[in-house]
Structure 1
Amino acid sequence: MSRHRIIPNPDLTVGDDNKQRWNQPEFRRHGFHNAHRLFRRCLMVRSREVLELESAEQNLCARVPELAEMLAHPAFSAFCCLKDDQIILEKAANDFSALAPHSIQSVTKLHIHIIIGRLLGQGHLSLDAQVCDYLPDMGSGYAKATVQSLLDMSVDNDFTEDYADPKADCYAEEVALGWRLPDADEAETTLAEFAASITGFRANSGVRQADYKSANTDVLTLIAAKVSPIPLAEQIEEIVDASGYEGAFHISLSKDGYPAFSGGGCLCVRDLARFGLLLAREGRDLYGRTMANTSFLQETLIRHAPAMTPPKNWLKYSNQIMTDGRLIGHAGYGGQFLMVDMVSGTSCAFLSVLENDSGYDDAYMGELATTLRDVCFSVI
């Protein structure tokens, strides 16, 4: 009999609040600042070439006083505003750095916009197809949903994403994403198993408001992996190379090896803003070559799509992007936001860590969204 002392991994073990230690309020700031080395498993990618930046600081806080308030908020980690190859303003909290990796949570979903767009342009996908056309073993929650409804967060099924509810399905999803361990007597769930376990699809044509479900992105990930002519890891490498990061992109992996595009990405704030510049270039790489599906991105801005819930209802959710027709970007659990002005080419990345019980605050995220909008419009 072994005499070794063995305990469950303390960072990944779930506590009484049904959260793993790194996402419990008292440990969350450390967790979001170190998620890239706390996940169960992780893919790391470096760029072949780096987009060099030069300082061209502007006094954005004088133009947008709300920005100064957000930078002084206890949750603040880091902020970076870029235009073209210039750093307009960059700040970091005393316990952090603009060059340190940080969990970007659902901002990661923007990668699925790029990957699905590429696959559409290459003829590997149809927006009108149902999930079962690509994944015949999918369960009842998604089998009859269309690819377009997944992209627009307009699927009605039994999956729940209420961060204030410790029993919400989004927390069970975290086992499949490699963010936590299951109960001691249970096996780790694969992403394919988790997605197939979701039930209760209800046809809901004419949806006017987005029904936000990260599981939609998980299913899109499985579809992309099935039809992509190259591995998803290579898709990630091409996005990283087109962005020109100086640091590393990390993303958690499921037990069956799928990247957690629904929220597992980690980037430093400067590189997240560089990713925003890739979107501002309409998916063109550092040499001006088309990497993403430019027409898909352009159509994403102008097409009819479900509105976000208040207070972000001035944005719509279109093809895994939040947009008002000019600005594009995405929010992330815990206090993350990337906002890109497609007219001026300004990219603003904001990283923070809310330390309340749920890790989410609608009012805070609404204020963050409008502040970044005003910052984008204020850059000269």
Structure 2
Amino acid sequence: MAIKTYPNPDLVVGEDRRPRWNSAPARRHGFHNLHLVTRYAQSFRAAQVMDLRLSAELSIPAREDVRRLTASPWFSAMAVIEGNRLLYEAYAPDFGPDRPHSIMSISKMSTNLILGRLVEEGRVGLEERVGDILPFIGPGYANARLQDVLNMNVLNDYNEDYQDTDASVFHHEAATGMRLPAGTEPMNRDFIATIGLAPGAADTVNRSGHCLYKSANTDVLGLVAEARGGRPLSAWLADLADAAGVEGALHMATDRTGFPLFNGGICLTARDLCRYGAVFARMGQGVDGAAFGSGAFIKATLADGVPMPPPRGHLRYSNQTNTNGTWLGHGGYGGQYMVANPKTGRVACFLAVLQDEDGYDTAWYPPLIAMLSEICTGA
């Protein structure tokens, strides 16, 4: 007698061509529980936890933008730290300080730390072509310089338009355990290798004048780190948890082979997201003072990069971060943003879940970025 089954309801693709966890009615539950929803995940705990003691700065909750944004129905959490001081934190009624939240593309910043170490140690060169490091890679990356991959400065046929339900980014989900595949389940490495040149293009040179945001770039960097790093990627993640001194678990989504989803797979509490950002505020140093990233690479990150398109044209995309030359940060699909300021030592994060149809609203981010930036400069 055959055993009856049914498709996993969280991961099956619905009429809106999205898995249920990322459909508008269920997205908030999905983002609050993605470490449990995704098919495959690893988790890492720190040996030594970075102490955070409440030292409330009343000017932060007094700000009009803080009051307005934390009152949004999309709000999940906000936290601000400076060294061991917890200057501010707030949570939505259905969330809390011990709850992990998907940070989506803020995860990308971890590759700045990893590649920075590999560059400093001479294991990779920024002028190397990806195909010389990864012989299996397809034409969408083979001739691209590693520096251009880091800076989202590559033209190819990977499409990250969240309003296009047939975009490459959603097919990418099937290779990373975020949705059920239509047929045979692809592995992330195999999916990345299929990315080709942009239609009509003879090369991967970006001539647009601004960065071309592609989450696949980050997974290419993960493959480079795997090829040249001399250690499993899970070892980097264990070291990252220790360097940040996370209190809870650093959860990382993977594909079926265990390859980490650096482009958007990390889930952290708001406090631990600040601890993660503090590694950048300390210019790559862990809580024990040892280098995890590279201070020289972070300094170059602050100085370089490719202009971002409007409405973030005042920022540059540099080595898997956003920067204005003073702070480093990144946003995440669905409403997240984090800023780390090495000059002041402050880190501020905001977690949210946009429950519109697409989970993406370009107008949402500019006031959020301005608020976190000002708080981190002490304004």
Same fold (TM over 0.5): yes
Asked if structure 2 preserves the Cα contact closer than 8 Å seen for 1:64 and 1:375, the reply is no
Q: Distance in 2 between matches of 1:177 and 1:315?
A: 30
Structure 1's 63 and 327: CA in aligned 2 closer, same or farther, altered over 3 A? farther
**Does residue 270 of the first structure (1) align with residue 267 of the second (2)?**
no
Which residue of structure 2 lines up, in the alignment, with residue 290 of structure 1? 291
Which residue of structure 2 lines up, in the alignment, with residue 16 of structure 1? 15
Asked if structure 2 preserves the Cα contact closer than 8 Å seen for 1:81 and 1:87, the reply is yes
Write the deviation string for residues 43-74 of structure 1: whole angstroms up to 9, x where unpaired: 10000111111111012345531111111111
Asked if structure 2 preserves the Cα contact closer than 8 Å seen for 1:60 and 1:375, the reply is no
Asked if structure 2 preserves the Cα contact closer than 8 Å seen for 1:175 and 1:189, the reply is yes
Aligned-pair CA distance for 1:313: 1.4
**Does residue 366 of the first structure (1) align with residue 366 of the second (2)?**
yes
Q: Which one-letter code corresponds to 1:331 in the other structure?
A: G
Partner-residue secondary structure (3-state), 1:337: strand
Q: Distance in 2 between matches of 1:44 and 1:205?
A: 36
Structure 1's 270 and 349: CA in aligned 2 closer, same or farther, altered over 3 A? same
Q: Which one-letter code corresponds to 1:300 in the other structure?
A: T
Which residue of structure 1 lines up, in the alignment, with residue 186 of structure 2? 189
Aligned-pair CA distance for 1:175: 1.1
Which residue of structure 2 lines up, in the alignment, with residue 72 of structure 1? 71
Which residue of structure 1 lines up, in the alignment, with residue 238 of structure 2? 237
Q: Distance in 2 between matches of 1:243 and 1:81?
A: 15
Over the aligned positions, Cα root-mean-square deviation in angstroms equals 1.2
Structure 1's 21 and 117: CA in aligned 2 closer, same or farther, altered over 3 A? same
Q: Which one-letter code corresponds to 1:317 in the other structure?
A: Y
Which residue of structure 2 lines up, in the alignment, with residue 151 of structure 1? 150
Q: How does 1:1-380 map to 2 (within 5 A)?
A: 1-2=1-2, 4-61=3-60, 64-183=63-182, 186-200=183-197, 202-204=203-205, 208-303=209-304, 305-378=305-378
Q: Which one-letter code corresponds to 1:239 in the other structure?
A: L
Aligned-pair CA distance for 1:91: 0.4
Asked if structure 2 preserves the Cα contact closer than 8 Å seen for 1:246 and 1:271, the reply is yes
Partner-residue secondary structure (3-state), 1:44: strand
Q: Distance in 2 between matches of 1:205 and 1:71?
A: 38
Q: Distance in 1 between matches of 2:312 and 2:369?
A: 7
Partner-residue secondary structure (3-state), 1:193: helix
Asked if structure 1 preserves the Cα contact closer than 8 Å seen for 2:46 and 2:246, the reply is yes
Write the deviation string for residues 256-303 of structure 1: whole angstroms up to 9, x where unpaired: 321000001100000000111111111112222222111001111012
Q: Distance in 1 between matches of 2:208 and 2:290?
A: 37
Work out the percentage of aligned pairs sharing the same amino acid.
Answer: 38
Q: Distance in 2 between matches of 1:175 and 1:116?
A: 26
Structure 1's 341 and 291: CA in aligned 2 closer, same or farther, altered over 3 A? same
Structure 1's 86 and 61: CA in aligned 2 closer, same or farther, altered over 3 A? closer
Q: Distance in 2 between matches of 1:306 and 1:279?
A: 20
Asked if structure 2 preserves the Cα contact closer than 8 Å seen for 1:60 and 1:67, the reply is no
Q: For structure 1, which runs of at least 5 residues remain unmatched after alignment?
A: none
Aligned-pair CA distance for 1:9: 0.6
Q: Distance in 2 between matches of 1:323 and 1:306?
A: 10
State how many pairs are aligned: 375
Q: Which one-letter code corresponds to 1:37 in the other structure?
A: L
Asked if structure 1 preserves the Cα contact closer than 8 Å seen for 2:250 and 2:267, the reply is yes
Partner-residue secondary structure (3-state), 1:78: strand
Q: Which one-letter code corresponds to 1:251 in the other structure?
A: M
Partner-residue secondary structure (3-state), 1:148: helix
Q: Which one-letter code corresponds to 2:195 in the other structure?
A: I
TM-score, structure 1 normalization: 0.96
Q: Distance in 2 between matches of 1:283 and 1:378?
A: 22
Q: Which one-letter code corresponds to 1:33 in the other structure?
A: H
Asked if structure 1 preserves the Cα contact closer than 8 Å seen for 2:338 and 2:349, the reply is yes
Asked if structure 1 preserves the Cα contact closer than 8 Å seen for 2:155 and 2:206, the reply is no
Q: Which one-letter code corresponds to 2:184 in the other structure?
A: A
Q: Which one-letter code corresponds to 1:294 in the other structure?
A: G
Aligned-pair CA distance for 1:344: 0.4
TM-score, structure 2 normalization: 0.96
Q: Which one-letter code corresponds to 1:262 in the other structure?
A: N
Q: Distance in 1 between matches of 2:113 and 2:61?
A: 35
Q: Distance in 1 between matches of 2:334 and 2:167?
A: 16
Q: Distance in 2 between matches of 1:327 and 1:346?
A: 10
Write the deviation string for residues 106-154 of structure 1: whole angstroms up to 9, x where unpaired: 0000111111111111111111111110111111111111111110001
